[in-house]
Every structure is written in structure tokens, then in C-alpha cells.
Structure 1
Amino acid sequence: MFDRNPYLALGLQPGCTISEIKKSYKQLSLLHHPDRPGGDPEKFLEVVEAYKSLLTKTRDDADSVTGEEVEKPVTKEFDSKEVFEKFFAENNPFQNLGYDNVNFGSRRETVNVEVPLVCTLKEIYHGVTKRVKVSMKDGKTKVVDVVVKAGTEYGTTVHVIKTIEEGESDTSFIVTEDKDDKIFLRKGSDLIYTHKMNMNDCLKNTFIRVPTLNDEVIVIPVQKLKYQRVIPCRGLPRAENPKLFGNMIVQFKLT
């Protein structure tokens, strides 16, 4: 049963006609279809479910369906491919793009596999697209592009391979810290850099060079021994807004 607002999913208002439901479904299902460039499988399934739900809901509404034949509720296993093909009279609108035998994402039980995707702090700083080889159930491999946006937090799921063949596992990519990154310590969007100094340097005015992830070097004066210095906006991009940056926190360690 569709557990979200089907009117909202199709951009309609209560009391809409069957013609309006079908028109909205046609536009949105083609827009979000997973075999269309930029398509969204989750939104596609949501649109299909909303379409079926509204047809069932308005079947006995005389004001909405007078004079129009309404599809009967389907009681067998939900299959978005069947709904899509039935609506388009079994004509695949994506055939001219080379999709001659597509599967439209039936809702079946699948096993989710989480794969760690190791990223350096420099990759997190700039954002990166990694080409990853994934093993499929049939023993074959598939190469996919996994896009990690600038500022992505560790532990974030950044890409999911949706089921293409029945019984094939979904694969989630989890952004993981590169343990070999030893220059900086990450704390949210802030970076902590530890600078080693001897006592003589601490007792006199001096300058230190602080590295950054964009290959610049910041020169800051050290006049008194302090536990740390904060350099604003020299950390990582913020995940919620990559145009904003965290701070660089310079800590001092006596040697």
C-alpha cells in the first residue's frame, strides 16, 4: 500500500480527474525513469505507486471518473515494469536510446551490500569521482562511477546501484577515512594541524609554515607560546553548503 501522499507525488490536488492523473503520470514517469539520463529510480517507483493508488482511490468517485474506464486494482505482486508497459501499450519509449530489453525495477527482496570507499582528505576537499569495479551475483564485474561531493562526511552513503536483474544485490558505497592521512586530523569541517616546536623557538618571535589541502602554504607569526591558533575558513567545505568552510586549528607540540 502506498504510504505517502499520492497527490503530492504526482503534483495534483484532491478531486482531480482520471485524465489529469494519467497526464501527470506520463510526464513524471518519463522524467524519472531509471533508464533516462538523470533518472531517479526511487522517484520513479514513487510515481508509479501514486498512479496506481489514485486510480484505485477514484474508481468509485462519480465526479472524477464519469464516462472514463478505470483500471481495476491489481492484487498480485507490485511490478513497476508491468504498470509502465501497460500504460504505454507495451511500447518502450527508451528503445531509440538503445534500451531494447529493460527492467523497470520490480519491487523484490534484495540483499544490500555495503562497500567501503576510501577517500583522502584532499579528495574530500575538492570532491572526487571514483571508478569502482563491483562484483555481480553472476560472477561478472561492473565498473561504476561513484561521485563524492566536496565536504562529504565519513560514513555517508554516496551511491547505490539499484537492482537491475532479479535477485541481484544492491550495493551501497560508504565514504571511509584514509588512515594513511597523517598530516591533518578531521573534526567535522575543521582540520587540526599539529606543529612541533622546540623550547627555543617558543621563547622568541618566529614564523611557521602551515600546509593546506589546496596546496597553499600559510605563514603565521608565533610570538608567544599558545596551545593553538585558529585560522578561519581554511578547513574543509561544509557538507550542507560547500561554499562555506570550516577552520584550520593549529596546535603546538613541544619537542
Structure 2
Amino acid sequence: MVKDKKLYNLLGVEPTASEAEIKKGYRKQALKYHPDKPTGDTEKFKEISEAFDILSNADKREVYDQYGLEAARGNAPAADQGNPFGGAGGAGGGFSGFGGAPGGGGFRSSGGGGFSNADAFNIFSQMGGFGMGDDGFTFSSSGFGGQGGQGGSPFGSSGGFRSGGGGGMPGGFGQRSQPRPDPDTVSMPLPVSLEDLYKGATKKMKITRKDPNGSREQKILEINIKPGWKSGTKINFSNEGDYQPECGARQTIQFVIEEKPNPIFKRDGNNIILTVHLTFKESLTGFEKDVTTIDGRRIPLSRSNPVQPGFTTTYPGLGMPISKSPGQKGDLEIVFKVDYPTSLTPAQKEAINTNF
């Protein structure tokens, strides 16, 4: 009987789940809670990754099912509590004599000193990153630093996870070592025009970074702007910044989208607002005009009756693309603004008084 179901619940699977079901559960939850997603939660993402780290390894899963999470982490309870491994290193010492199955699955975390954020991103990278089937961000090999060009790997492109040293079961059941800190994240704004956010674009950014030997080098990062992205969208390039000796990895470069002001159009969520100016006479007697949308199409406008200041007419489907719903767009809102005269001649005042 399973002692604790917490890790299975984190992946949304039953304790009887197969290897394929565990992978599917991890994929779904990791893509939902990845910190770069709107639904992201860093701590939840780390818990999900640790759950997968344990349950994807047959030996570690067996220990977890029998003795619980702390035992699976290598923190063995005392022998008199019924754990035959209680004397193998003591609490916090790890199962120094417990070897993993030959060629066993699972992932090795960055040392036995605790499961870190770096371990979580590394597992995400090794499992394919955002290329696992989500419709979210997709980068070339320069993005997110992982092999195959997907996911965020704070450990570079050499592949694999850092071992905690010593023998034993994969994932930290060997000799413990002090974990390294996570690499820093350096954020910088990326101004993008509303037109590029509407149709999508590719931006190339040149960065200067520090090598492990302390010298400087330049590198070009290619950023694929997806149609419909908004201000505040974050694009991460792991392991692309300055090398940090204390981490054994490079910084993460993070670009934050900033929408440039547009002289004609204004964005409101997924909608686009276009203000049409009318003279006082046009607002009273009517008008015929053409306006051009952000994608270049022309829309004829005509009125024969008076138009109130601030009157709005809506054109569905002519707004911004919705990045999370491919093929769908917001609305175009045309707002009429009446430009009242700043002064009137006596004849004009007389005409108004006579007719109104």
C-alpha cells in the first residue's frame, strides 16, 4: 500500500499510474505552472518537477511508496521505525549503500542538498521544454539553452544533470554535497511596435557577455515575437548571460516586452481603438470618410444623422490576434471625437440661435 499520495496528486495521476501516464501528467502540470506562463507558479513548478524526478525512477518510486517523501529524498528515518535503510547514513545522510538499477530511469538532481529551482528547469529542458506539445513559446537553439533548442537548462548544452557525488541511486541517494546557487536572471526591456505585436516579428539582439576565463564576447539572440503578445510578456534565454563561477553556469537573459506608443491606434487588451475626429458641422449634418485598419484594409464610414461625441461603433474580429487562441482576434472600436470650434462669429451664433 502506498504510504503517501502527495507526489501522485501533484502530477494528477493514480499510484497505479504507468510510466507513460506519469510522463503525461508531468507534461501537463509543468506546462501549466512554468514560471514563464500566465498561470506560472515557481514553487509549484519545483514541486511538480521533484515529483517527476522521484516517480520516473523505479527504485526511488518504490522507496517513496513504502517509506514516504523524506525517505525518497534520502532522509532515512530511524531503523526502529521499520525502514531497513535507516542505518545507511542516518537522517540526511542518504542511502549510501543503495544502488540504482542498471540503466535505471529518473533524473539526477544537482547534489543531495535539496531539490532546487535549477533542477526543476533542467528536468523541464531534458523533457523537451515548451516543445512538449504546448502552444506556448518556441525558440531556436539559442533560446532557453537546452538541447534541441527547447526548455530552460541552467547547466548549459552539455546535457545531463549534475551528480551529487558518490555512488548510489540516481537522483541523490549517494553522498551529499553542498548545492550550488541558481544563476541570476538579468531583465531588460524590449520595445516593440504595435504593428509588430499585431503581425509578429523576429528581433535580433546583440549582447556582450563574460566567459569563464573572464574575457568578453558578443552573441546575437534571436527573439520570435508572436502575434498578440502583450506588454509584460517575458522571454527567457537560460545560460546565455555572464558566466557565474559560483553557480557553474551563465546568467539567464530575460527580455520584457514593452509596447511602443502608436500615433493612430491604441490597444485595450485584445481590442484596438481608433479615434476618428469630426468637425462640429460633420457631427451635426453627417459625413463620409474612409479609415485604414492596422492591417491595411480600408473601411468606409458614413453618417447622415447627428453623431454624439464619444459615440463608438464596433467591428468584431478586426482587433489584435489572441495569442492563446490561434485564429481569433479582438475587436476594432472606432470612437468619434467632435472637435468643437474655439470661437464663433456673430453670423454663426445667429445661425445657431435661429435654427436651434
Common topology (TM > 0.5): yes
Name the % identity. 21
Q: 1:185 maps to what in 2?
A: 266
CA contact (8 A) 1:137 1:169 kept: no
Q: 1:133 maps to what in 2?
A: 206
Counterpart of 2:60, as a letter, is T
CA contact (8 A) 1:136 1:168 kept: no
Counterpart of 1:206, as a letter, is F
Deviations 1:103-144 (A, max 9, x none): 446674221111211111111111222222233233322222
Deviations 1:175-226 (A, max 9, x none): 10113x2111111122222222222322323112222111111111133222
Report how many residues are paired: 214
- What is the CA–CA distance in structure 2 between the aligned matches of 1:15 and 1:199, rounded to whole Å? 74
Classify the secondary structure of the residue corresponding to 2:329.
Answer: strand
- What is the CA–CA distance in structure 1 between the aligned matches of 2:64 and 2:291, rounded to whole Å? 72
Classify the secondary structure of the residue corresponding to 1:136.
Answer: strand
- TM-score normalised to structure 2 length: 0.48
- TM-score normalised to structure 1 length: 0.64
Call closer, same or farther: CA 1:175–1:105 in 2, change over 3 Å.
Answer: farther
Q: 2:282 maps to what in 1?
A: 201
State whether structure 2 residue 183 is matched by structure 1 residue 102.
no
Call closer, same or farther: CA 1:221–1:75 in 2, change over 3 Å.
Answer: same
CA contact (8 A) 1:124 1:149 kept: yes
Counterpart of 1:114, as a letter, is S
Structure with the larger RCO, 1 or 2 (CA within 8 Å, 6+ apart): 1
Call closer, same or farther: CA 1:167–1:75 in 2, change over 3 Å.
Answer: closer
Call closer, same or farther: CA 1:132–1:197 in 2, change over 3 Å.
Answer: same
Classify the secondary structure of the residue corresponding to 2:210.
Answer: coil
Query: How do 1:104-183 residues align onto structure 2 when only pairs under 5 Å count?
Result: 104=160, 108-138=181-211, 139-157=216-234, 159-163=235-239, 166-179=248-261, 181-183=262-264
CA contact (8 A) 2:270 2:320 kept: yes
Query: How do 1:1-255 residues align onto structure 2 when only pairs under 5 Å count?
Result: 6-7=7-8, 13-15=14-16, 49-50=50-51, 52-54=53-55, 55-59=59-63, 71=100, 75-76=112-113, 102-104=158-160, 108-138=181-211, 139-157=216-234, 159-163=235-239, 166-179=248-261, 181-223=262-304, 224-227=306-309, 228-233=311-316, 234-242=318-326, 243-254=328-339
- What is the CA–CA distance in structure 2 between the aligned matches of 1:146 and 1:187, rounded to whole Å? 24
CA contact (8 A) 2:204 2:220 kept: yes
- What is the CA–CA distance in structure 1 between the aligned matches of 2:280 and 2:20, rounded to whole Å? 77
- What is the CA–CA distance in structure 2 between the aligned matches of 1:23 and 1:109, rounded to whole Å? 30
- What is the CA–CA distance in structure 2 between the aligned matches of 1:130 and 1:248, rounded to whole Å? 29
Deviations 1:150-177 (A, max 9, x none): 21121111x2111266342111111101
Query: Aligned-pair distance for 1:24?
Result: 7.1
Call closer, same or farther: CA 1:13–1:246 in 2, change over 3 Å.
Answer: same
Call closer, same or farther: CA 1:162–1:104 in 2, change over 3 Å.
Answer: farther
The structure having more radius of gyration, on CA atoms, is 2
Q: Where do 5+ consecutive residues of structure 2 fail to align?
A: 31-41, 67-97, 102-107, 124-146, 149-156, 163-179, 341-356
Deviations 1:55-90 (A, max 9, x none): 43423767xxxxxx753996246686xx99xxxxxx
Call closer, same or farther: CA 1:10–1:102 in 2, change over 3 Å.
Answer: farther
Query: Aligned-pair distance for 1:10?
Result: 7.6
Call closer, same or farther: CA 1:76–1:123 in 2, change over 3 Å.
Answer: same
- What is the CA–CA distance in structure 2 between the aligned matches of 1:197 and 1:51, rounded to whole Å? 62
Call closer, same or farther: CA 1:124–1:190 in 2, change over 3 Å.
Answer: same
Counterpart of 2:219, as a letter, is K
Q: 1:91 maps to what in 2?
A: none
Q: Where do 5+ consecutive residues of structure 1 fail to align?
A: 33-41, 63-68, 85-93, 96-100
- What is the CA–CA distance in structure 1 between the aligned matches of 2:283 and 2:301, rounded to whole Å? 14
- The structure with more strand, counted as a fraction of residues: 1
Call closer, same or farther: CA 1:229–1:172 in 2, change over 3 Å.
Answer: same
- What is the CA–CA distance in structure 1 between the aligned matches of 2:302 and 2:289, rounded to whole Å? 6
- What is the CA–CA distance in structure 2 between the aligned matches of 1:10 and 1:201, rounded to whole Å? 63
